[in-house]
Amino acid sequence: MKDLLDVHMHTIASGHAYSTLREMVTAGRQHNLELIGISDHGPLMPGSCGEFYFCNFKVIRPEKAGIEILMGAELNITDFSGSLDLREPFLSRIDYAIASLHEPCIENGSIEQNTAAILGAMRNPKVKIIGHPDNGNYPVDYEAVVKAAKEHHVLLEVNSSSYHPDSNRRNSRSNAHIMLGLCKQYGVSVIMDSDAHIDLDVGNHTRARQVIAEADFPEKLVVNTDIAKFKDFLK
């Protein structure tokens, strides 16, 4: 399976990641990726950058990088209606948002609450990806999530870091299988991401690929295989 892009990764601006933007870009080039997306954590994550970080991406000049670069954010869902931690005018300055549930920013809710949080976030037009939706610390109704992803044209993530033995996200692999089965049934696309917090992990989708292979998931529903397929979700 072709794997041309990785759009979930963190630089030192996130506060608990260890490489610079330049190092992440170099790593993306070395892995022969055609496109990378930087997605530093939203302001509510302890130690992450403030909202002004997200308003000056024009200085980056990606045309000089030798690889396509998008500048996004992994925003925190902050309540069960799906609010996010980046306000206008900052939100409109970023290329895309990943919306995720994170322990420091929202309590572990019931299935109904967590599902409502994700569905609410999907209604925000800047949200193009739901980050690690298979995190069992936030159980959800996968049928509702998959159907809403189709309705709102949002990608569901197969997050390689979730399947690491040291990950604190519970039941991610078994939840991914449930989610992928439903995505197959309803024709919903997914994206493999590294969630790299250091340059060594840029483009590292090893575990995500394993999960996708185990699920016998159709390649045509994996947007990493085709830049145009991914960009169709950015419109």
Q: Which residues bind Zn ion (CB under 5 A)?
A: 74, 100, 131, 195
Shortest distance in whole angstroms from residue 114 CB to Zn ion = 14
Contact indicator for 18, 197 with CB cutoff of 8 Å: yes
In the bound state with Zn ion, the residue whose beta carbon lies nearer, of 56 and 168, is 168
Which one, 16 or 220, has the nearer CB to Zn ion?
A: 16
Closest chain position to Zn ion (CB): 100
Starting at the edge strand that comes first in sequence, how are the strands of the sheet with 97-100 ordered? 5-6, 35-41, 68-76, 97-100, 127-130, 155-159, 190-193
Three-state DSSP class for 162? helix
Minimum CB separation of residue 200 from Zn ion in Å reads 15
CA dist., res. 127 & res. 98, Å (int)? 6
Nearer to Zn ion, 74 or 201 (CB): 74
C-beta of 38 vs 222, nearer to Zn ion: 38
Query: Nearest distance from residue 218's CB to Zn ion, in Å?
Result: 26
CB of 201 to Zn ion, least distance (A): 11
Closer CB to Zn ion, residue 160 or residue 189? 160
* Closest approach of Zn ion to the CB of residue 126, in Å: 17
Closer Cβ to Zn ion, 23 or 226, answer by number: 23
Cβ pair 98, 87 in contact under 8 A? no
Taking every pair of C-alpha atoms in the chain, what is the biggest distance, in angstroms?
A: 47
Mode of pairing for the β-strands spanning 127-130 and 155-159: parallel
Question: H/E/C letters for each residue in 7-30?
Answer: CCECCHHHCCCCCCHHHHHHHHHH
Task: Give me the least distance between CB of 98 and Zn ion, in Å please.
Answer: 7
Residue 6 to residues 139, 145, 180, Cα–Cα distance (Å):
25, 22, 19
